[in-house]
Amino acid sequence: MKVIILASGSKGNATYIETSRTKILIDAGLSYRQIKLRLANRGIEFNRLDAILITHEHIDHTGHLASLLEKTEAKLYIAKKSLQGIGQKNQPNPYFTEITYLSPDVRYQIKDLMFVPIALSHDARSTFGYLLKNETSSLAYITDTGHLPEKYDAILRQIQMLVIESNHDVEMLLTSSRTWDLKQRILSNEGHLSNQMCKEILNRIVSDQTKIVVLAHISEECNTYDLAYRESYDVTVPKGIALYVAKQHEETDLFDLEVPAA
């Protein structure tokens, strides 16, 4: 399994995943042109897409959905409530888009890629993280949530690569110019994971199976890439786990889960 996080943050989100037979995106918050460009930067030609998996309906995750579906003819996997919440501009064409409505904790198969949506807690109609697996590799994708239910801990300890939200530094958020209502929303159980909460969750779920952790959805106003990295360093790097930070305006390295992490 190959993974590139193409963009992560409040201005747009998209992650590319490729196996020997399958090519998918998680979220559609980046334009076709930018996806093609950022994949080309990592030596991948964007010539086919089997599916787009949507985490939730917010525009930074669905802002280019209709266009991407039209240009790639990908199938759409989404919660029915999420689809209902997408603005008219980004609604898929019902006559040309094959849609599978997702339910949490159910297994789905796309060729050689199996995935399970997991229920997260965010101020959206429905929000999913994803557990993905093929014959040799495994990935967990967990962003846009105020907390992570402990019922998923056991399976997450068996996952090879974790992409997890480390959205804000609490002190930076509280002293920011954002309204009090917005601050409360971000800090709530339906908001976003702080750096400290991310660290606490990693303490619960990293194991000798964990090879790579990528910190994601980092706030440009209420966090820094360095702060997020430093917070999670102690629970990852000394244990031999490679730690990375996903950015908003550039793609990550290509993570080839068939190859041992550096």
- Each residue's pLDDT tens digit, 34-88: 999 999 999 999 989 999 999 999 999 999 999 999 999 999 999 999 999 998 8
Query: Residue 261: inside a domain, yes or no?
Result: no
**Of 170, 169, 173, 238, the residue nearest 202 (C-alpha):** 238
Q: Is residue 181 part of a domain?
A: yes
Q: How many CB atoms lie within 10 A of CB 45?
A: 8
- Measure Cα distances from 154 to 135, 162, 207 in Å: 20, 14, 10
Question: Is 30 inside a domain boundary?
Answer: yes
3-state secondary structure of 244: strand
Do residues 6 and 29 make contact, with C-beta atoms less than 8 angstroms apart? no
- pLDDT for 259 equals 66
Contacts of 132 (CB under 8 A, 6+ apart): 1, 17, 113, 114, 115, 138, 139, 140, 141
Does the pLDDT of residue 262 top 60, yes or no? no
- Residue 206 lies inside a defined structural domain of this protein: yes
Strands across the sheet with 23-26, in order? 99-101, 75-78, 51-53, 23-26, 14-18, 2-7, 255-256
Average pLDDT of the chain, as a whole number: 96
Cα(178)–Cα(152) distance, integer angstroms: 32
Residue 262 lies in a domain: no
Output the pLDDT for position 231: 98
Six-digit token string for 138: 């495994």
* Sign of the four-CA dihedral 247, 255, 112, 152: negative
Calculate mean pLDDT across residues 100-107: 98
Q: Does residue 200 lie within any of the structural domains? A: yes
Instruction: Determine if residue 33 is left, alpha or beta; phi over 0 gives left, psi from -120 to 50 gives alpha, anything else beta.
Output: alpha
The amino acid occupying position 106 is V
pLDDT band at 24 (very low <50, low <70, confident <90, very high): very high
Please give the residue range of the domain that contains residue 249.
Answer: 2-256
Average pLDDT over residues 215-234: 98
User: Does some domain include residue 252?
Assistant: yes
Burial profile 151-165: b = 16 or more Cβ within 10 angstroms, e = fewer: ebeeebeebbbbbbb
Percent of the chain surpassing pLDDT 90: 95
Give this prediction's pTM: 0.96
Domain assignment present for 72 = yes
| Residue the block writes with tokens 């390295």 | 253
Q: In total, how many domains does the chain have?
A: 1
Of the CA atoms within 13 Å of residue 69, those in its CB half-sphere come to 24
Q: How confident is the model at residue 180 (pLDDT cuts 50, 70, 90)?
A: very high
**Residues with Cβ within 8 Å of residue 43, at least 6 apart in sequence:** 254
Identify the CATH number of the domain in which residue 244 sits: 3.60.15.10
Residue 28 confidence (pLDDT): 98
Tell me the C-alpha to C-alpha distance, in Å, between residue 225 and each of 8, 120, 200, 211, 241.
12, 24, 18, 20, 18
Angle at 198 between CA 24 and CA 150, to 5 degrees: 85
Degrees to nearest 5, angle at CA 140 with 136 and 141: 135
